[in-house]
Structure 1
Amino acid sequence: MKNGRPEVVVITGATAGIGRAAVQEFARHGASIALLARDHERLEAARAEVEQLGGKAIAIPTDMADYAQVEAAAERVERELGPIDIWINDAMATILAPFDEIEPEDYRRVTDVTYHGFVWGTMAALKRMRPRDRGTIVQVGSALAYRSIPLQSPYCGAKHAMKGFTQSVRTELEHDKSKVHLVILDMPGVNTPQFDWCKTTLDHHPKPMGKYYQPEVAARAIYWAAHSRRAEVVVGMPSLLAIIGEKFIPHLLDRYLARTGFKGQQTQQPIPPDRPSNLWQPVPGPYSAHGAFDQGARRHSVELWASMNRTWLLADGLALGLFLRSRLRRDNARVRVSTSAS
């Protein structure tokens, strides 16, 4: 609640995957949510879901690659729901293919959605938040902003760019002593419908690489990050290992991913010739938060829990350390007394 009214939250990419799970999470907390995505039918399905969960929603068909549409959506949100408290940039597109098999226009499209979409969303949000000197922008990023992998050069490049752009804007807000907050989430692989509809030149069905999580884990992280003052939140052990590995053993990772990254992102299932692609147009159908890989997807992240509770963990660790130090001193004193007596 903000000043006795429900929080006004904008979620891009709101009809499927992480965005849809975030919609559900905020709806359970009674938020007023603006749903931004391209598919009209799924927008209406998400809006109905919000109302069933106790929130309020408006559905705004929006292509995040088009700044004029994003700005018009932001204007409508404030007119119909009120001042925006939280803006969540999540919309994305990707292509799973070797770099030399990607057409230039397709590469640009991924960049326009996954990078420029975040820029336009941030621009529209700051235009309204800065004069009020309050608000939070959540950038749903990826561990791939630190450590790129094969077959996803457009997506990895866009996530690297998003991180750099966000850090630059954050320093400008710091310079102006603005209370508007920007936070980046470094996500691991997540079981979302992107693997069912992303454009690809591969022979076999794409899948998340390595250990991956259910979208509800990401949604909990988004909700928590939107109400904390962290600059960055790492979600999942794979993200943490990618960040650490890139810092200390980048060349080893190059060789490892060259050996495992191609097979590691494909199942044994051949791709049918009529496989849909959502790169330029939304793919119709009852897609929601989960993708096709429920089996094997993790439902909890110990690393996220530790990050959310680090203050208590540090306090408990300090208390334990002081207790052990006290015990050690007492034991040493007893030994000295015993030695003196003998």
Structure 2
Amino acid sequence: MNQMQTVVITGASAGIGRATARAYGARGANVVLLARGQTGLDAAARDVEEAGGTARAVPTDTADPQQVEAAADTAVQAFGAIDVWVNVAFTSVFAPFTEITAEEYERVTQVSYLGFVNGTRSALKRMLPRNQGTIVQVGSALGSRSIPLQSAYCGAKHAVNGFTSSVRTELLHQGSDVRITIVQMPAVNTPQFSWVLSRLPKRPQPVPPIYQPEVAARAVLHAADHARRKQYYAGASTVATIWGNKIAPALLDRYLARTGYDSQQTAEPDNPHRPHNLWQPLDGTEGTDHGAHGAFDDRAHTHAPQLQLSQNLPRAVAMAGTAAVTLLIGRALRKHRG
């Protein structure tokens, strides 16, 4: 393993991006941290350096392609070639579709979908001339099976899947040694449930099973390592339990219509006026560092059998992992309901 890899991570100030940054720091990597919030970025940089890596924080709104390009230039100027680019940054709105404004929907799409497009474009611009490098997209089970109250986020994650598959086939056609892969994530205990814009009457929560951000970070590193070794392109690590293939779609729709609202809310009323991060970061210069973990440490798993299987099974089985792990979030919802 090259201990001096240069890694760019978007959404690096909190959640999965933050945990991934620290994991790469523990490998001694040069880690370029992209996010909007300066306070969170500075704390992430300290995490990386305490773990043993070298950090460079670059305040960036990934919805702006010019800002992403400038950040990529900064990474190259600071450390040389970019070896791994990890797209994580996202934002969302928890509400029925009819309660989300056009401007809010556009913003979620700009960050959670076009932010991945912008990051991928900037990465390829620097990787293709070298014919070397790996792009990891942090996807979601909700990109395979949508749920109520998250139409903007689900739409973006479906789009990331389609976009990534198209780019992957183009790279294959070109015979390129640049790799692009995607990691499908389950519910993760991140700060998003405390700072997302929500119009739900009760506080939002992830749908069990819930995993700690460090589990997701291990999946990201695993995906990047396997893609770099040219073992396989797609579905390198699937942590997610994906809804849907064992239940007829119409039945699952009805089931989610009955259970999907309550399962995404705690019993506690939410404050409709609490700050959110759709337009401005909550960990900005005057803000607070929110770290990698959210408010559900007592319910979050520290290990994922699906990830362990994908790390140990042969290539053919691992490539089939995305289909094989359709153990259904519906099962988790039934457990939650019961």
Are 2:87 and 2:136, in contact at CA under 8 Å, matched by a contact in 1? yes
- Specify the alignment match of 1:244 in structure 2: 245
- Specify the alignment match of 1:191 in structure 2: 189
Offset at residue 276 of structure 1 (A): 1.1
Q: Which amino acid aligns with 1:151?
A: L
Are 1:306 and 1:313, in contact at CA under 8 Å, matched by a contact in 2? no
Offset at residue 9 of structure 1 (A): 0.1
Offset at residue 243 of structure 1 (A): 5.5
Hey, which bits of structure 1, 4+ residues long, moved more than 2 A?
A: 233-236, 311-314
Is 1:82 paired with 2:80?
yes
Q: Which amino acid aligns with 1:298?
A: H
SS at match of 1:232: coil
- Specify the alignment match of 1:99 in structure 2: 97
Is 1:129 paired with 2:151?
no
Is 1:212 paired with 2:224?
no
Structure whose CA Rg is larger: 1
Offset at residue 286 of structure 1 (A): 2.2
SS at match of 2:309: helix
Partner Cα separation in structure 1 for residue 263 and residue 45 of structure 2: 36
Q: Give me the TM-score of the superposition, normalised by structure 1.
A: 0.87
SS at match of 2:164: helix
- Specify the alignment match of 1:338 in structure 2: none
Partner Cα separation in structure 1 for residue 298 and residue 244 of structure 2: 26
- Specify the alignment match of 1:222 in structure 2: 220
Offset at residue 272 of structure 1 (A): 2.0
Offset at residue 93 of structure 1 (A): 0.4
Partner Cα separation in structure 2 for residue 104 and residue 233 of structure 1: 35
SS at match of 1:15: coil
Note the alpha carbon deviations across 1:104-126, whole angstroms, 9 max, x for none: 00000000000000000000000
In structure 1, runs of 5+ residues without a counterpart are 315-342
Offset at residue 235 of structure 1 (A): 3.2
Q: Which amino acid aligns with 1:218?
A: A
Partner Cα separation in structure 2 for residue 130 and residue 241 of structure 1: 33
Equivalent of 2:65, from 64, 67, 74?
A: 67
Are 1:234 and 1:240, in contact at CA under 8 Å, matched by a contact in 2? no
Deviates further, 66-75 or 279-288: 279-288
SS at match of 1:289: coil
SS at match of 2:162: helix
SS at match of 2:214: helix
SS at match of 1:6: coil
Query: Percent same amino acid among aligned pairs?
Result: 53
Offset at residue 48 of structure 1 (A): 1.4
Partner Cα separation in structure 2 for residue 62 and residue 179 of structure 1: 28
Is 1:298 paired with 2:301?
yes
Partner Cα separation in structure 2 for residue 100 and residue 167 of structure 1: 30
Is 1:258 paired with 2:257?
yes
In structure 2, runs of 5+ residues without a counterpart are 318-338
Partner Cα separation in structure 1 for residue 296 and residue 82 of structure 2: 34
Q: Which amino acid aligns with 1:307?
A: S
- Specify the alignment match of 1:281 in structure 2: 280
- Specify the alignment match of 2:40 in structure 1: 42
Is 1:108 paired with 2:109?
no
Q: Which amino acid aligns with 1:235?
A: T
Are 1:16 and 1:192, in contact at CA under 8 Å, matched by a contact in 2? yes
Q: Give me the TM-score of the superposition, normalised by structure 2.
A: 0.88
Alignment RMSD, CA only? Answer: 1.5
Is 1:308 paired with 2:324?
no
Offset at residue 30 of structure 1 (A): 0.6
- Specify the alignment match of 1:149 in structure 2: 147
Are 1:129 and 1:135, in contact at CA under 8 Å, matched by a contact in 2? yes
Deviates further, 206-215 or 108-117: 206-215
Note the alpha carbon deviations across 1:174-232, whole angstroms, 9 max, x for none: 11000000111111100000000000111110000121111110000001111103311
Partner Cα separation in structure 1 for residue 34 and residue 128 of structure 2: 22
Q: Which amino acid aligns with 1:105?
A: E
Partner Cα separation in structure 2 for residue 292 and residue 210 of structure 1: 14
Partner Cα separation in structure 2 for residue 234 and residue 135 of structure 1: 18
- Specify the alignment match of 2:52 in structure 1: 54
- Specify the alignment match of 1:32 in structure 2: 30
Q: Which amino acid aligns with 2:288?
A: G
- Specify the alignment match of 1:321 in structure 2: none
Offset at residue 311 of structure 1 (A): 2.6
SS at match of 1:124: helix
Q: Which amino acid aligns with 2:207?
A: M
